[in-house]
Amino acid sequence: MYLENHRIRLSIRKVFFLLLFIVLILVVMHFFPGSLSRMIQNRFNLDGEANIPNWYSTVLLFFVSLTSLGIYILSDNLSHLRGFWLVFSGVYCFLSLDEAACLHEIIDIMTSIKWVYVYAPFAGIFFLICAYYLIKNDNRIVRQWIVGGLLIYALGALICELVSHLLYPLPPLLQQVEFALEEAFELIGTIMVLMGCLQELSRCYEIFCNAKKN
């Protein structure tokens, strides 16, 4: 049992570093000079839409939703955390949709309020709910991955956005650095949450298989 859990942790760690390596590539490519190829620059612009970084973020968020849904399905009906994972899955499904369809931009277009001010209260409530329920989770590693990931994601999605908005306009180079930091924080935070969900999914699957054998 110990060896099996050790192998799972090693596999998840390998996935984590692979996904981080992709983030590093995207950040480097964000600074690709437009003078060499405007097309390549647009395809890797971290502040752009309908390009490679946007697709990567959408996929990561959707995988968090799918993994959380898997935890919900495999969890015991008597588990006090079962409903939480369904809500968690729904929230990340919305975030994936928002990333792909740019739903938050509708707020900027239709109102004079910056979208970050509308999302911030809901993000705070969601974080408090996650912290409350995850404290009840007896797996410390899962708590650390998910809570840490949520904090880093918020740092990119909310704080960097606020800094950019309050200090607007930034010098061009600093603006590009801000874009890179914002998106990198969001991607790394999502990856950390995904790793925590994978840890919990493997645990639930192991319990499910043991219950079937008995």
Per-residue pLDDT tens for 98-115? 999 988 888 888 888 888
Predicted confidence at residue 214, as pLDDT, reads: 64
- Which residues does 87 contact at the CB level (< 8 Å), separation at least 6? 129
44-77 per-residue burial string, b: 16 or more CB within 10 A, e: under 16: bbbbbeebbbbebbbebbbbbbbbbbbbbebbee
Predicted confidence at residue 52, as pLDDT, reads: 95
Predicted confidence at residue 139, as pLDDT, reads: 82
Q: Could you give the CA distance from residue 153 to residue 189 in angstroms, rounded to a whole number?
A: 4
- Look over the chain and give the mean of its residue pLDDT values, rounded to a whole number: 86
The confidence band for 31, taking pLDDT boundaries of 50, 70 and 90, is very high
Q: What's the token pair of residue 213?
A: 């054998």
Per-residue pLDDT tens over the stretch 119-155: 889 988 999 999 888 887 778 889 999 999 999 988 7
Amino acid at 182: E
